[in-house]
Structures are given as C-alpha cells and as structure tokens.
Amino acid sequence: MAKLRRNYESNSSDVSVNVRIFIFAVILIGLLYFGWDYLIQYTGSGEGKQIILKTTEGAVNPQIDSNDPRNSNNSKQETGSQVFDEARPWLPSSTNGTIVNHTYYSLSYVEAFEQAEWVAYPLSQEILRKPNVPRTDYFFDDPLIPSQSATFYDYKGSGYTKGHLAPAADMAFDTLAMRESFYMSNMSPQLRAFNNGIWRELEEQTRDWVYHNKSVYIVSGPVLDQSVKKTKKGVGIPNEFFKIILDIEGPEKKAIAFLLPHAVSDRPLQDFAVTIDALEARTGINFFPHLMDQNLESKIEAEVDVAKWKFSDARYQLRVKRWNFE
C-alpha cells in the first residue's frame, strides 16, 4: 500500500505540473495574440509609433500645453525673422475648402483621399540654423480635421510608408513643430524606394537652397484625381507628387517646381522640373494667389530655369547608388 500511495502521489504531482504548464502556455498565447496590436502601436514596426489624441469640443488636448502662447489660435508665432499669423498670404487655394492651420504650416485636407492635397509653409536660413530637436517618430491623428484624419492603422499592411509632405527635418527647429509634422494629415502613401530615394533627395536639396537663398516658400503635395487608386482602408495612392520652391525675398525673384512620378527613379531631379502654370493646370490649385502682384506672379509661374538653382551631383549619386535600394 505504501508503494501504491507513493506512485499515486508521484502521478498527482506530474499532473499538477502539467496543468500549470498548460495554463501558463494559454496565458502566454493570449498575451501574444491580444497584445500584438498594442506592441505595434507603441514600439512601432520600423515606421514609427502612434499616439492617439482624442479631443472633444471644449476639451484640452493633454499633449499640448494650453498655456504656451504658440498654441493659441489668435497668437503669432515668431521664429527668427519669420512671423506666422492668421493672414498667411502664402496659402494656395483649396479645391474643397478644408484648410487647416497648424502652428508652423498649413494644409488643405481632402477627405475623399484621406490626405492633404497640399502642405504649405515658409522656411528660412535662420530657422534651419537653429539647434535641432530630437526626431519623435510618433504619429498622431490630426485633431483639427473636422472629418477625422487618416490614422496610423490605415497604413498598416498597405505596403506603403507614411511619407511626410512637410519633412520632419524642416520642422526640427522646435519641439512643437516637430510634433505637428507627425500628424497623419501630413502623410501620404509612398513607396519605400520613392520616399527614401528621389523624394528624400528633393527634400534635402530644398534645404540646401534655403541656406543659399535665405528664405523661401514651399508647397508640397500629391496629385489627387480620379485615376488615384485606394488602399483597403480608403487612403488614396497618388501616381504623382509635386513640390514648389518660391524665392521672392532675395534680389532675384524666382521659383522652381517639380512633378515626380510615384516610382523609383534613376533620372536627375532636373528632368522633372516644370512650370508652376503646368502644375496649376494639372492639379486645379492656384498656388500663390495672394503673395505677389499679378505681373510678377505671371512671370515667375510661366518660366522654368534650372540654371538658377544649383543641384548637388553628389547627392544624386547617393540616391541612384544607395538610397533607391534602402
């Protein structure tokens, strides 16, 4: 009987251990299954992270300091010699009337494509020389879009990166500017090789021109028309992107515009230079209706002269030899 009792106790102990292992395995699987989206949200998947800002009318966004005068809708924001105020004469027209003014840039949001048709802002040499704040890589729903902006999850599994229209590096002079550059309304679906390649080259080249021209006005965006297909979540996938750089503060008034196919490219940026008039015809947007007198506007928007702008061949070589493959 003693032997039988010892065998019974041994078997009971084995069963107890097996039960505990089974329960632990079930809990672990549950945590992995139900916690995966949480982990993706807060640790990212190589494309940053998301913080959801839920705001209601009259509520205070906890991410924004309401005592900071830069966050007041009626205040002016000064950065160096530039003043951002309610007038913003550098704003393009909007094809749908939904213009949103953030602290350091403005955009026109098109709900049908869940992205902005343009993002516009001034950028100066003085701003770029300020010490850079850390890049956040946290993506935010835009609380100012009345119909709600696209979200971090609208891009998940789409095969496209979240491409900045106003680059984070252009907004690195200020913590609030950096944070607002990660609003999802400032994103557009871009192929990784396009985002890391020719789009990156154009962004960096633009900052070079700012250093040489003191102050410029920039407008960037996708071309949104009926040929644009959408992701399963309803976000438009543009076939083309544009960028305009206007310099009317220097002694030589000039502008340059680009219309880029949404694809990896080995061609130099100069091949994609177009007139602003051509872009306006392509998009239906009047890009500078209030910034210049009619004669100057007509002259600048009708010409394209790449000789007035110095291009970096070294950066072009980097793009075709390395960036296109990252």
CATH classification at residue 178: 3.40.570.10
Query: Region 10-15: what's the mean pLDDT?
Result: 50
> Is 49 inside a domain boundary?
no
> Is 298 inside a domain boundary?
yes
The domain in which residue 234 lies consists of 55-325
Please give the share of the chain, as a percent, with pLDDT higher than 70.
Answer: 73
Q: Do 119 and 30 belong together in one domain?
A: no
Q: How confident is the model at residue 31 (pLDDT cuts 50, 70, 90)?
A: low
Q: Which of 12-26, 117-131, 175-189 has the lowest mean pLDDT?
A: 12-26
Q: How confident is the model at residue 18 (pLDDT cuts 50, 70, 90)?
A: low
Query: Region 223-243: what's the mean pLDDT?
Result: 96
Q: Do 18 and 164 belong together in one domain?
A: no
Kindly tell me the sign of the dihedral angle through the C-alpha atoms of 269, 167, 254, 311: negative
Q: Do 16 and 104 belong together in one domain?
A: no
| Active-site residue, from 164, 212, 262, 290 | 164
- Torsion-angle region of residue 148: left (phi > 0), alpha (psi -120 to 50) or beta? left
- Of 77 and 23, the one with more pLDDT: 23
Q: Do 31 and 86 belong together in one domain?
A: no
The whole-number pLDDT of residue 65 equals: 36
The mean of the pLDDT values for the chain is: 82
> Is 226 inside a domain boundary?
yes
Query: Region 84-112: what's the mean pLDDT?
Result: 89
> Is 48 inside a domain boundary?
no
> Is 249 inside a domain boundary?
yes
> Is 12 inside a domain boundary?
yes
Kindly tell me the sign of the dihedral angle through the C-alpha atoms of 204, 206, 210, 212: positive
The whole-number pLDDT of residue 22 equals: 65
Q: How confident is the model at residue 137 (pLDDT cuts 50, 70, 90)?
A: confident
Q: Which of 41-50, 225-234, 311-320 has the lowest mean pLDDT?
A: 41-50
Q: Do 108 and 232 belong together in one domain?
A: yes
The whole-number pLDDT of residue 86 equals: 59
Please count the structural domains in the chain: 2
Q: Do 200 and 220 belong together in one domain?
A: yes
The whole-number pLDDT of residue 70 equals: 33
Q: How confident is the model at residue 214 (pLDDT cuts 50, 70, 90)?
A: confident
- Of 37 and 258, the one with more pLDDT: 258
- Of 83 and 57, the one with more pLDDT: 83
- Of 27 and 83, the one with more pLDDT: 27
pLDDT above 70: residue 94: yes
Write out pLDDT tens, residues 267-300: 999 999 999 999 999 999 999 999 999 999 999 9
> Is 253 inside a domain boundary?
yes
Q: Do 14 and 68 belong together in one domain?
A: no
> Is 94 inside a domain boundary?
yes
Q: Do 197 and 273 belong together in one domain?
A: yes
Write out pLDDT tens, residues 153-182: 999 999 999 999 999 999 999 999 999 999
Q: Do 3 and 100 belong together in one domain?
A: no
Q: Do 29 and 60 belong together in one domain?
A: no
Q: Do 25 and 150 belong together in one domain?
A: no
The whole-number pLDDT of residue 242 equals: 98
pTM of the model: 0.77
Q: Do 38 and 117 belong together in one domain?
A: no
The whole-number pLDDT of residue 20 equals: 66
User: Beta-carbon neighbour count of residue 40 at 10 Å?
Assistant: 16
164 is catalytic: yes
Query: Region 67-94: what's the mean pLDDT?
Result: 54
